[in-house]
Amino acid sequence: MPELPDRREETQGGFIVHGVPFPIETDPDALAFLKRLTPIQIEQEYAITYLHSYGQDSPWFAGAANRRLLAAREPESGYTYATPRGHDMYSGIETEWIDITSRRARIHAFTVCHFGSEEFLPETPYVLAMIEYEGVDTLFLSRLMGIDPDEASIEWIGMEVRPRFLRNSKLKPTDVYFVPVGLPDGAA
């Protein structure tokens, strides 16, 4: 019969706790002070591998990874969504994918963000813009690059823009961003 361990191996990984208060007296009432302690707090890194699926929106991400911007069109009415949508929101009919990469696009509205999520905080200030595509019924929200956020101007409304894509796709909506038409490649 194999010898079974009678104690767990201790490692230095994770976190190490020092000096957690505990009464030395053996009097049972001495434990009452533990109720008055400030709660013990532990800070530790936490990582998890998360497997998720883009499901019916997968064609949009495949397009972006290949430098193509896809829109979803409702086949009966022709209503076109700039953002991925597998089915029409009213009829439930499956939409069809269309390539809008080379269509004319303009800034419909924009905002300068001086605060952002953890991922974008180091990049503040940055510009988010609602992009209006010719022949598309809804707007596409994306980053606007190649312009100075500190010089925001109402004159940006209507500015022609074009999509750019990250060279190494991360399969995220942020793989696509926009720059003013006429901005040379590599300038933003």
Average pLDDT over the chain, rounded to whole?
88
Residue pLDDT, tens place only, 61-97: 999 999 999 999 999 999 999 999 988 888 889 999 9
Distance in angstroms (rounded) separating the CA atoms of residues 145 and 69: 17
Instruction: Give the distance from CA 42 to its chain's centroid.
Output: 28
Write the CB contacts of 127 (distance below 8 Å, at least 6 apart in sequence).
110, 111, 112, 113, 143, 144, 145, 147, 149, 152
pTM beyond 0.85, yes or no: no
Q: How confident is the model at residue 187 (pLDDT cuts 50, 70, 90)?
A: low
Write the CB contacts of 108 (distance below 8 Å, at least 6 apart in sequence).
129, 130, 131, 132, 139, 157
Question: Tell me, what's the pLDDT at 8?
Answer: 74
Question: Tell me, what's the pLDDT at 98?
Answer: 97
Helix and strand tally (H, E) in the chain? Answer: 1, 8
Question: Tell me, what's the pLDDT at 10?
Answer: 72
Q: How confident is the model at residue 20 (pLDDT cuts 50, 70, 90)?
A: confident
Q: For the chain, how many residues are written?
A: 188
Mean pLDDT calculated for residue range 29-38: 78
